[in-house]
Structure 1
Amino acid sequence: MRIDVRRIGGFGAMVCAGIMLSGAASAQVKLIEQAGFPAPDLTNIMNLIADKAGFLKGEGLEVEVRFSTGGPQATQITASGGADIGEVTLEPLIEGYDKGIRGKLFFAEYTRLIYHIAVPADSSIQSIADLKGKKIGVTNMGSASLVVARSALRKSNVPIEADMFRPVGFGDGAVAALRSGQVQALSMWTSAYGSMMKAGMALRFLYHPTVAEIGNGGYFASDKTLAEKRDSLIRFGRAHAKATVFLLENPEAALRMHWKYNPASKPAGTDEEAIKRGMIEMNALLSQYSIERHSDKRYGFTDMDGVRTYIGLFTEEGVISRPVQAQDIATNDLLDEINKFDEAKVRELARSWK
């Protein structure tokens, strides 16, 4: 594994690190993945499993993961040819289409919307309607989670006041704002809540009434890369489908794998105490990867009707002026080939992983 720090010219922003996955022989196909998050925390778990469980190597791939300040930057870099694959959410594709972004999500990593509202577990707020007159914390005023929350409020007939949303950052800052009463709720994403829960914050969640079960992120490639590197993308998708099976079969093994290569992330205390706290965060993430809610059980499946509904939300909220066509930003065309693997064999590997 190689870690290096680099500056991406033209974007003027620091890409925190690049990790070479698989340490493979020169005969293997090399791909660059631009992740839409800044560091290899638990959000990076699928990349780690795909590498360390040997799934990338088995597909003849060597993948370098580079990290970004966020999804929009990762989308721009990937769409412009600076990376083969972007690990991003749908929002930069929806908002970027009119600005020339051309490419598609070819493997859906998430099977439900990662954005939802959280309140303290003992809060009197029981529904979105109860948020009338309350303050809601967001990481920043440009966050997609704010757009989703605003839509949820409208659909629940809650008046949106001028100062209803307040930027509170995330992590300790968000927890402090919630505990102090500066805000009564948060609108963020699954992994952000997971880290708060690991730190001891008990939360309860309120979901959007119409888009909560729509997956909104995964692996994206430009139209040019989809045409020129189709076989490599299929093999990449297959490695990540196997990683999904592994994670769902043995999340504790995946957590220990994460700690092995990111030791600073392991909670203090005995191993038993660390596992208990770590699994709080891990369990918060698992539901966003499960395929059980889908009628189509292929790993990586994108619900195209759901994408149309999600695009409609961004139109209704005035984020985009012209609706984007779902087939212009997502595709299931590679999934039949991606899902050609022995799932039982992967499950057995996960169960026996040491």
Structure 2
Amino acid sequence: MFGKLKCSTAVFLAAGGLMLAHVANAADKVVYALTTSNISVGNAAQSSIPVGMEYWKNEGLDVGVIGLAGTMLGVQQIATGAVQFATAGPEAVLIARQKGLPIVAVYVMSTPIYETVVTDDNIKSFKDLKGATIGLPEMASGSLPYARSAVKDAGLDPDKDVKFISVGLGSSAANAIRQKEIAAWSVWDTGVAALENSGFKFTKIDPPWLSKMPGNVIITHEDMVKNHPDVVVKFLRGLAKATVFSLANPEATVRNHWEMYPATKPQEMTPQTFADSLHIYESRASRMVKAPGRKWGENVDAEWGNILLYSVESLGDADTMRASYTNQFIDEVNDFDEEAVIAEAKASKW
């Protein structure tokens, strides 16, 4: 039982409305939220693969995967105990900690996933966006604190020199770009890849320091870390195995995702539509590759320190930063036969 975190229902936002998920036995069943309403093939390693390959089930967990509209909503749901794990941007974690929310990052999924793209060749950097409007997928997304910091780093005032608006993803974002409602789009990698598939030619204007920060992280409640470390290890080890599988066999990963999320499968299957789906998958997978000498999920102090260095927000000091994440589970999370998972992936019939 999760004690303080146990709840009879988990309230979450999906498909544009409120839904309820019963949490029957919290020791076995957990709810995991991806903080996007569009769980695309790019999210396969953290959604369809650990379920389809039964990595979580084999760890003794029954994991329900849901989508939430934005990082800050995921943070709130973790803080209230409505969900047990969620994805988040690292800056959003630090902002939440400054507000006293009891959340902690326990695993780094990738290098930074956010990008800012433009179609106007006259825009070379954030400095050229003075007086412009920057589009976001959602105002609650982790791309907002990143974009605000990039604006500040360019010598502009993010509260006065630019305007931020929500334009969504896919067709709604495409319309905003075509109609020049926005001069730049700050979004995550898979969103950019999807519009590239529809013919957009983008230029990325991200500052060089972005690559020196942690990317997408997994967060949980402090009480989970303290009272249920075994559940945390099992959940994260399932993610690590799924990441290894997906990197070893991208084609099988995409096909499995279609099976579990049929709405993401192209209506017409052709070599081109399959290639487009792989492009979306690879836009995220390229950021999930483990750096030499690093363990799956490992936090690096220097990367988190760069957030304090460049953020426009007030995020506290180094001690506050270090309390926002932990590596205490990483050795156990990495305790599996990686080569066996790779062999399993290459032998997959998907």
TM-score scaled to structure 1, two decimals?
A: 0.82
Cα deviation for residue 228 of structure 1 reads 1.4
CA distance in 2, matches of 1:182, 1:69: 22
Cα deviation for residue 280 of structure 1 reads 1.9
Contact 2:42 2:281 in 1 (8 A): no
CA distance in 2, matches of 1:127, 1:39: 28
Residue 68 of structure 1 is matched in structure 2 by 68
CA distance in 2, matches of 1:322, 1:37: 27
Cα deviation for residue 254 of structure 1 reads 0.8
Residue 313 of structure 1 is matched in structure 2 by 310
Query: Amino acid of the residue matched to residue 213 of structure 1?
Result: K
Cα root mean square deviation, aligned: 2.9
Residue 326 of structure 2 is matched in structure 1 by 331
Residue 295 of structure 2 is matched in structure 1 by 298
Query: Amino acid of the residue matched to residue 302 of structure 1?
Result: N
Query: Amino acid of the residue matched to residue 189 of structure 2?
Result: T
Contact 2:69 2:140 in 1 (8 A): no
CA distance in 1, matches of 2:139, 2:68: 19
2:104 is the alignment partner of 1:104: yes
Query: Amino acid of the residue matched to residue 330 of structure 1?
Result: Y
2:202 is the alignment partner of 1:203: yes
Contact 2:11 2:19 in 1 (8 A): no
2:85 is the alignment partner of 1:85: yes
Contact 1:140 1:168 in 2 (8 A): yes
Cα deviation for residue 335 of structure 1 reads 0.5
Cα deviation for residue 132 of structure 1 reads 5.3
Greater mean deviation of Cα atoms: 250-259 or 126-135: 126-135
Q: Assess, with a 3 A threshold, how the Cα gap between structure 1 residues 218 and 151 changes in structure 2: closer, same or farther.
A: closer
CA distance in 2, matches of 1:33, 1:181: 37
CA distance in 2, matches of 1:74, 1:156: 29
Secondary structure class of the residue paired with 2:121: coil
CA distance in 2, matches of 1:273, 1:279: 10
Unaligned runs of 5+ in 1: 1-5, 21-25
Greater mean deviation of Cα atoms: 51-60 or 122-131: 122-131
Identity of aligned residues (%): 24
TM-score scaled to structure 2, two decimals?
A: 0.83
Residue 180 of structure 1 is matched in structure 2 by 179
User: How many residues in Structure 1 have an aligned counterpart in Structure 2?
Assistant: 333
Contact 2:84 2:221 in 1 (8 A): yes
Q: Assess, with a 3 A threshold, how the Cα gap between structure 1 residues 143 and 335 changes in structure 2: closer, same or farther.
A: closer
Secondary structure class of the residue paired with 1:116: strand
Residue 167 of structure 1 is matched in structure 2 by 165
Greater mean deviation of Cα atoms: 193-202 or 134-143: 134-143
Contact 1:78 1:222 in 2 (8 A): yes
Contact 1:15 1:69 in 2 (8 A): no
Query: Amino acid of the residue matched to residue 61 of structure 1?
Result: L
Residue 152 of structure 1 is matched in structure 2 by 150
Residue 350 of structure 1 is matched in structure 2 by 345
Query: Amino acid of the residue matched to residue 266 of structure 2?
Result: P
Describe how 1:1-354 pairs up with structure 2 within 5 A.
Answer: 8=11, 14-16=17-19, 29-42=28-41, 44-45=43-44, 46-110=46-110, 112-120=111-119, 123-131=121-129, 135-139=133-137, 143-157=141-155, 162=160, 164-170=162-168, 171-292=170-291, 295-314=292-311, 317=312, 319-320=313-314, 322-323=316-317, 325-354=320-349
